Amino acid sequence: MTRVLPFALCAFALLGPPARHGLPGSPGQTASFRSANELVVLPVVVTDRKGRYVTDLPQDRFAVYDNDRRVPLQLFTNEDTPVTVGLLIDTSGSMRPKIGEVVAATMAFARTSNPDDELFAIRFDDTVRDAIPERKMLLARDLEELKSAMLALMPNGQTTLYDALMAGFDRAAEGTRPRKIVILISDGGDTSSRATLAQVVARARDSNVALYTIGLYDPDDVDRNPGVLKTLAQTGGGERFLPESPGKLMQICETIAREIRSGYTIGYAPPDHDGAFHRVRVEIEPRDRRFVVRTRPGYVAGAASTERERR
């Protein structure tokens, strides 16, 4: 993208002084920062024990701990505004019988999303390529153009899953929306990437991207690696899904779209600028066992310079 500020800076610029409302939360992003004026911004999802989203909690119910130190909140909002979403779609040969369900699920995701969400799509098999011609970013409302791009997918070859994720982080950084989401859909482990899992995990920690992973595994698939998908999703603050059949993929994609629109965004000034990984914990107070809270596990202090150098 035109060079985009880290999410913390975008939120600060859009909202002005801390504690204003207007930027929505979605799971799985972290803030990079370079000065005390920038905020660590953590999208947070709260559900009840039945998995239903809880969207009406006031600011004073939230407590945030940075490396076990409670920090005062300077940003809080739960409104729905557009995001940039990247769809990473496995088009290796083994996906041939499942690609129809993937196309249907992709369209269901777009229909459930904010109409002004910005979408890009990357296909990966032996190589990693943009699925939408001319590296375009579509709006979620551009359903016919998105459908045309999805119907052109022709599965073949091996699986460059890690390379696709690295490309997805790069493309997400080109989006014009302050919040970034990547959704990975694959039916196997990596078989031919140049990038390594360690490199992808490190990039996910440094990135402002929320990562969701969906594994369409066959029971006898020797390449299946659901543990990797879980690690990646947890690092990115998203969630891993393992549908029992491709037919359930549509429901999962709709669930992700609703979750993106149903979260909170919480921001605070970083207590340290030490270049280290800081663990973050968000709690609801007073404690209430009815609520389940999910957010990114932490952020790398000072990662903004690294992100900008990569761009």
> What pLDDT score was predicted for residue 237?
87
For the ranges 54-63, 80-89, 244-253, which has the lowest average pLDDT?
Answer: 244-253
Of residues 82, 84, 77, 75, the one with CA closest to residue 121: 84
Contact 267, 73 (CB under 8 A): yes
Of residues 305, 203, 194, 210, the one with CA closest to residue 263: 210
Question: What average pLDDT does the segment 136-147 reach?
Answer: 96
Count of beta carbons in the 10 Å neighbourhood of residue 31: 27
Of residues 33, 40, 24, 41, the one with CA closest to residue 5: 33
The pTM (predicted TM-score) of the whole model is: 0.81
Please report how the helices 197-206 and 161-172 are oriented relative to each other, as an axis angle in degrees rounded to 10. 20
pLDDT for 304 beyond 60: no
pLDDT for 131 beyond 80: yes
* The pair of three-digit structure tokens given for residue 223, joined into one six-digit string: 């390449």
Of residues 66, 79, 3, 69, the one with CA closest to residue 39: 66
What dihedral do alpha carbons 266, 272, 273, 279 form, nearest 10°? -60
Give the model confidence (pLDDT) of 177-229 as tens digits.
Answer: 878 899 999 987 899 999 999 999 989 888 878 899 999 987 776 667 788 99
Cis, bond preceding 133 (omega within 30 deg of 0): no
- Looking at per-residue confidence, does 296 or 119 come out higher? 119
Question: What average pLDDT does the segment 287-299 reach?
Answer: 90
Euclidean distance between CA atoms 84 and 126, whole angstroms: 26
Give the model confidence (pLDDT) of 232-249 as tens digits.
Answer: 999 888 999 999 877 799
- Looking at per-residue confidence, does 14 or 84 come out higher? 84
Q: What is the set of domains in the chain, with CATH numbers?
A: 14-80+265-310 (2.60.40), 84-260 (3.40.50.410)
